[in-house]
């Protein structure tokens, strides 16, 4: 294999850190793998860094080997990941060129409901369509999702699982969707709240057997201590019913791991327990809806939940990988779409505004540079040989994780304490 020259390394890592004066000192080979040692100047101080290089003839991955966590192996010898402060994973430069060239020739512009017509065969050949939300509380994506629902409803998709409310809200929201009575649901400034209001208006013109139904599968999160107790109670019920072996070990440590003064999403134990809860609740829901015939469902959750492959930095599968690979009723019938904005503008309560632009070399950066229009759909299937750096949520992105991308040039995000806690404890 050919080692990366220091000059190429500087270009590659411009997207992830201000490194300079990179010098190759030694290298150890083992078949297609190589651990190369470089002297790197970072923040004005020289230090030795070790990288793993993998060459399969199509692309390679560069990665820190050092770090508090071990190097995770993922998908055989074709993908690797690491954690060393900020995560970084970059494909070879020709991956970026391939993405840019492919996107300019194969995009589907999205302008209205009927512009989703390219999804017809996908809708007919799948039972669950996953679409990511990124970032949370953005103002533009709910309108896009409404158009997607309206198109897919023609092909039997009427059941929507969405993040943002807790499982016990399902009954009242569905009563609102039937009646529009504000006693059942209060429309607030929360963007997805307006989505539910618009779905009520849409339902009014539909026959009963096509009207949209909303399903929430989240445990309570309003109070950290109560959240821990609530999810432990639910886990206890799962254990009692012998529905999942995985939950047994969670009961003993989840409450202790969620401190009273910490936001529950910051707790690894809580996050793992939450994912078990989501999978169990979805399974129950799918089995229930199957009594009416094969369900056609849309799942609208954060990109991290809607990938088809597990997060290699965690020791458990999230909802999307469970539906795509484990749950026998949906395995092979799941289609996943990542939502990827280019520019994120955050609005703060004190009228302050911040803008977040993607790092050079990331998927959002490449698509933003090549974008022929403001909103478009891109099938990732023909790019299966490449892995890309996904900047906004520090994950990798490829056709193994997502079947497609919906790109939007700019979204506006409303700040909330939830966002602050999630950012604070996710690094």
Residues 73 and 109 in one domain: no
CA angle 325, 130, 153 (to 5 degrees): 125
Domain CATH number, residue 60: 3.10.450
**Residue 365, domain extent:** 103-426
Residues 59 and 142 in one domain: no
Among 65, 89, 113, the domain-final residue is 89
Could you tell me which residue, 38 or 132, shows the higher pLDDT?
Answer: 132
Q: Could you give the number of structural domains in the chain? A: 2
Q: How buried is 341 (Cβ within 10 angstroms: 0-12 exposed, 13-18 middle, 19+ buried)?
A: buried
Phi first, then psi: give them for residue 135, nearest 5 degrees: -80, 175
Max alpha carbon distance in the chain (Å)?
A: 71
Share of the chain above pLDDT 90, in %: 40
CA angle 135, 173, 120 (to 5 degrees): 60
**pLDDT tier for residue 366 given thresholds of 50, 70 and 90:** confident
| 190 part of a folded domain | yes
| 229 part of a folded domain | yes
Within 77-223, residue ranges assigned H as helices are: 93-106, 120-125, 141-152, 170-179, 191-203
Query: Can you tell me whether residue 280 is helix, strand or coil?
Result: helix
| 98 part of a folded domain | no
Residues 244 and 116 in one domain: yes
Residues 161 and 56 in one domain: no
Q: CA 312 from chain center: how many Å? A: 13
What confidence tens digit (pLDDT) does each residue in 293-349 have? 999 999 999 988 999 987 655 667 789 999 999 999 999 999 999 999 999 998 887
**Prediction pTM value:** 0.73
Residues 301 and 393 in one domain: yes
Question: What pLDDT is recorded for position 324?
Answer: 96
What confidence tens digit (pLDDT) does each residue in 110-142 have? 999 999 999 999 999 999 999 999 888 899 999
Cis before residue 135, ω within 30 degrees of 0?
A: yes
Residues 336 and 314 in one domain: yes
Residues 224 and 317 in one domain: yes
Residues 137 and 286 in one domain: yes
* CB atoms inside a 10 Å sphere around CB 150: 19
């Amino acid at each position: 294999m050919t080692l990366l020259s220091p000059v190429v390394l500087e270009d590659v890592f411009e997207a992830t850190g201000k490194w300079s004066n990179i010098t190759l000192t030694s290298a150890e080979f083992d078949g297609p793998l190589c651990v190369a040692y470089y002297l790197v100047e970072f923040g004005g101080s020289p230090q030795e860094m070790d990288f793993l290089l993998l060459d399969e003839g199509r692309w390679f991955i560069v990665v820190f080997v050092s770090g508090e966590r071990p190097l995770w192996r993922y998908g055989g010898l074709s993908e690797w990941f690491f954690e060393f402060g900020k995560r970084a994973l970059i494909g070879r430069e020709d991956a970026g060129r391939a993405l840019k060239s492919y996107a300019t020739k194969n995009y589907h512009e999205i302008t209205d409901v009927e512009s989703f017509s390219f999804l017809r065969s996908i809708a007919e050949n799948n039972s669950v369509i996953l679409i990511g939300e990124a970032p949370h509380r953005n103002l533009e994506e709910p309108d896009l999702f409404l158009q997607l629902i309206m198109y897919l409803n023609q092909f039997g998709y009427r059941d929507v699982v969405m993040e943002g409310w807790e499982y016990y809200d399902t009954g009242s929201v569905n009563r609102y969707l039937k009646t529009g009575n504000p006693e059942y649901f209060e429309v607030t400034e929360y963007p997805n709240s307006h989505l539910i209001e618009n779905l009520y208006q849409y339902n009014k013109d539909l026959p009963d057997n096509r009207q949209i139904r909303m399903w929430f599968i989240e445990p309570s999160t309003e109070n950290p201590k109560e959240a821990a107790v609530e999810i432990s109670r639910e886990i206890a019920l799962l254990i009692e019913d012998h529905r999942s072996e995985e939950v047994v070990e969670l009961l003993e440590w989840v409450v202790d791991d969620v401190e009273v003064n910490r936001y529950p999403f910051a707790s690894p134990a809580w996050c793992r327990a939450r994912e078990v809860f989501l999978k169990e609740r979805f399974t129950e829901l799918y089995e229930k809806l199957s009594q009416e015939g094969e369900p056609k469902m849309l799942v609208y959750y954060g990109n991290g939940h809607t990938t088809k492959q597990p997060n290699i930095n965690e020791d458990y599968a999230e909802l999307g990988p469970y539906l795509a690979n484990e749950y026998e009723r949906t395995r092979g019938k799941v289609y996943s779409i990542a939502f990827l904005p280019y520019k994120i503008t955050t609005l703060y309560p004190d009228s302050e505004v911040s803008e977040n632009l993607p790092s050079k070399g990331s998927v959002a950066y490449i698509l933003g540079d090549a974008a022929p229009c403001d909103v478009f759909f891109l099938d990732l299937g023909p790019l299966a040989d490449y892995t890309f750096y996904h900047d906004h949520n520090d994950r990798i992105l490829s056709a193994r994780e997502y079947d497609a991308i919906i790109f939007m040039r700019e979204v506006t995000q409303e700040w909330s304490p939830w966002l602050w806690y999630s950012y604070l404890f996710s690094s």
